[in-house]
Amino acid sequence: MQLGAVEMARPVVIMLVAVMLASIILGGNGQVAVYAWPVDALTVCIDEPTTRQAMVSDTQNGSLTFSGTVQVNRLPVERIVVEFVVTVDIKWVAVLSPSSIVITSTNIYWFNLTVIVPEATHADAVGHFTVTATGRGGDIKVIDKTNVTVTVAPYSLLSIGSDRPYREILPQEGTSFAFKVQNRGNAIDSYELEIANARELENAGWSVEFSNRTIAGVAPEGEVNVSVTVKSPQGWSWDIWTSRPTSIIVEADSLAARNNNLSVNQTMPVHVYRKGSNNPLLSLLLTIYILTAVSVMMFAIIRRRRKKGRQTLVKEKT
């Protein structure tokens, strides 16, 4: 009779054990639950391309927005809350929208990652971003990650200036102007210098020479000094008696921009005043000559008017 009782109790024991195991698998123990939900049940990814280039300027930030998706392939509970976190290896701003998603099905859910690159960021800077998605539901937890890379597009910008843009010289003398060319772009650049009004100066008898017409390999925020030597015409000209200056317009062109079929340049005019003569005796003789010529002309005009007046008076008397 005892053996019969044991045989009758055996199905009940098996059923109880089965119920206990089912209870544990369905959430009675957190560790078993995590194991029952495969680690690949949650997938997060960024749409291609995951490496993109931001456009910035000296006054404008660069902004890029990446589209991403998250999906739960298996849903053992009623809902899963997925939270997003982004980590950055550079001091740029990264924003996730939304920062969390409630998932109630195996459908695909979308989110955006926006990266803001500060203005004037150098072109050699690279930002690496890691988006971590953590899904939780009850005692269940699963994590997945995805990465994006942001580079910076180069832009060209320059400035040119002179410490003393006005000079006064004697005729047939020369002088030099010091110029400073600065790279205000975000990448290494080279520059070519020229005189914008070279033909006009050449026709007037002026000569202009650069200490260096090509400036190579200037780093961002770097600057290079160059000099321009000018020499006035050898012949005499009436403009030495006036206050009218001669302008020399120096132009600097970005070679990096030119290689990309762009035109980035800046001009800087300097002015030369030719005053007096380099020969005091010649200056004195010219002054005497001009004064004498003016006096003779005035005397002739006055004499002619007097003669005409006398002839008119004689006619009236007769």
pTM of the model: 0.69
d(CA 256, CA 265): 11
Looking at residue 204, its pLDDT comes to 87
What pLDDT does residue 273 have? 86
Q: Where are the domains of the chain?
A: 1-36, 41-152, 158-274
- The tokens describing 230, both together, are 């000018």
* Number of neighbouring beta carbons within 10 Å of residue 269: 14
CA distances (Å), 17 to each of 21, 33, 92, 150, in order? 6, 18, 57, 56
Which of 163-167, 241-245, 294-298 has the lowest average pLDDT? 241-245
13-24 tens-digit pLDDT: 454 444 444 444
**Bigger pLDDT: 248 vs 239:** 248
Residue 54 has pLDDT above 70, yes or no: yes
pLDDT at residue 29 greater than cutoff 60: no
pLDDT tens for each residue of 103-159: 999 999 999 999 999 999 999 999 999 999 999 988 888 899 999 999 999 999 999
Give the CA diameter of the chain: 186
pLDDT band at 25 (very low <50, low <70, confident <90, very high): very low
Q: How much is the pLDDT for 262?
A: 95
CATH topology of domain 158-274: Immunoglobulin-like (2.60.40)
What's the confidence (pLDDT) of residue 313?
Answer: 63
Q: 41-152: which CATH number, 3.40.50.300, 2.60.40.2310, 1.20.1250.20, 3.40.120.10?
A: 2.60.40.2310
| Amino acid identity at 176 | S
Residue 3 confidence (pLDDT):
45
